[in-house]
Amino acid sequence: MTTKIFKITPEDTSNPAISEAAEILRAGGLVAFPTETVYGLGGDAADPSAAKKIYEAKGRPSDNPLIIHVVRPEDAERYAYTNDAYYRLAEAFMPGPLTVILPKKDTVPYETTGGLDTVAVRCPSHPLARALIHAADTAIAAPSANLSGSPSPSCGTHVIRDLWGRIDAIIDGGECEIGLESTIVQLKDREAVLLRPGAITADALSCVCEKVTVAPAVTELLKENERPLSPGMKYRHYAPKIPLVLLEGEEENVLHFLRRAQNAEKCTILCYYEELALLRNERLIDIGSEKDLAAQAHTLFAALRRADELDCDIIYAHLPPTEGLGLALYNRLIRAAAHTIVHV
Ligand code: TXA
Ligand code: MG
């Protein structure tokens, strides 16, 4: 299959490429598109065969449900049973990087929800994503547009590398602003359970929800045979091919450890901007300032992809803090590292 590539700027919402891509979606095809979080691999959410094609193109197990993308929060009514708590969250955070799990209606086939009776709804803020959903005139089911097991794509080039030849079209709108996938919450009475941390932090959620709890699988390893609240949690995600080890400890000890490692082994280091001058300039990848978690979120997945392309035996990175946006970085990195943490 040849894949059409439409390279357009994020503001160019009236570009004819949008209606061409929408036409492909309506005909049951697949289109990758940018969102403010990461790129999505889209298909018509109401079409069971589109969902099957998505799983196939990604090489993803078909029990891992897809998120459906709508233009306005109230568009969810067609696909899900909403409630007051949903609208309170929508008022505060939509359009934006938040996904809410709701009971599904019959309009969403089980192929899209991986057999679940619930559906994940998200209302993205990226202008091209919004224009595409609007033009397709249906909800778009979309997982992240990477091959299963590799980091989510935070720019068009990543999508082209992973999915060229496997899908009908790619809208390349450049870099995604946030760089990490959306926050996912499940609503239980007055409580919000955080299933996947993202740019909408637990603190931000607690301004709107009476109680916010973090699902254990966000920070911990699932026990054998344990069923996670979100099926995606059981997979080893974002995994570089080269082993990744996370370092925890005082900055001075971490630097000491890394300097010794640079002399002893062929390692790549995902370092803070402030450390660039303090380590030997060899296979160093700058992930942003230690104090700027948003910058780190923006570069993390690109950094993991780059590290994987370098000739080395091991990759080191800092274990992020678990506060604020740090929790999202922590969650992605412990999965990529398969929970390998060294205390120095
Ligand atoms: O930012 C994002 O959320 C991106 C962009 C494209 O919107 N999408 C994304 O999709 O990250 P994906 O498929 O890579 O991750 C969706 C996660 C999976 O872990 C899946 O298990 C979970 O959402 N999920 C989807 N539907 C669910 C449901 N009904 N109940 C629980 N978890 C669900
Ligand atoms: Mg994904």
Domain ranges for the chain, please list them: 4-218, 244-343
The CATH architecture to which 4-218 belongs is Alpha-Beta Complex (3.90)
CA–CA distances in Å: residue 309 to residues 175, 180, 240, 297, 303:
20, 20, 9, 20, 10
* In the predicted structure, residue 218 carries a pLDDT above the cut 90: yes
How many angstroms separate the alpha carbon of residue 143 from the centre of ligand 2? Answer: 6
Contacts of 192 (CB under 8 A, 6+ apart): 85, 89, 185, 186, 205, 209, 211, 212, 213
Handedness of CA 128, 6, 151, 262 (dihedral sign): negative
Q: Which residues surround ligand 2, an ion (CB under 5 A)?
A: 144
Domain 244-343 part of CATH 3.40.1190.20: no
Among 108-112, 220-224, 249-253, 294-298, which is the least confidently predicted range?
220-224
DSSP H helix total and E strand total for the chain: 9, 16
Q: How far apart are CA 289 and CA 301, in angstroms?
A: 16
**pLDDT score at 64:** 85
Mean pLDDT of the chain: 94
Q: Is residue 240 very low, low, confident or very high in pLDDT (cuts 50, 70, 90)? A: confident
Question: Which protein residue has the closest C-alpha to ligand 1 atom 3?
Answer: 182
Half-sphere exposure of 319 (CA within 13 A, CB side): 18
How many angstroms separate the alpha carbon of residue 86 from the centre of ligand 2? Answer: 23
Q: Is residue 237 very low, low, confident or very high in pLDDT (cuts 50, 70, 90)? A: low
Q: Tell me the pTM.
A: 0.95
Is the C-beta atom of 138 inside 6 A of ligand 1? Answer: no
**pLDDT score at 188:** 83
Tens of pLDDT along 276-291? Answer: 999 999 999 999 999 9
Closest CA to 111 of 70, 168, 53: 53
How many angstroms separate the alpha carbon of residue 325 from the centre of ligand 1? Answer: 18
* In the predicted structure, residue 156 carries a pLDDT above the cut 90: yes
**pLDDT score at 220:** 83
- Two tokens at 125? 């803020």
CA–CA distances in Å: residue 77 to residues 12, 43, 83, 106:
29, 19, 10, 12
Cβ atoms of 132 and 35 within 8 Å: the answer is no
Mean pLDDT of all residues in 80-84 = 96
Tens of pLDDT along 19-54? Answer: 999 999 999 999 999 999 999 999 999 999 999 999
**pLDDT score at 233:** 59
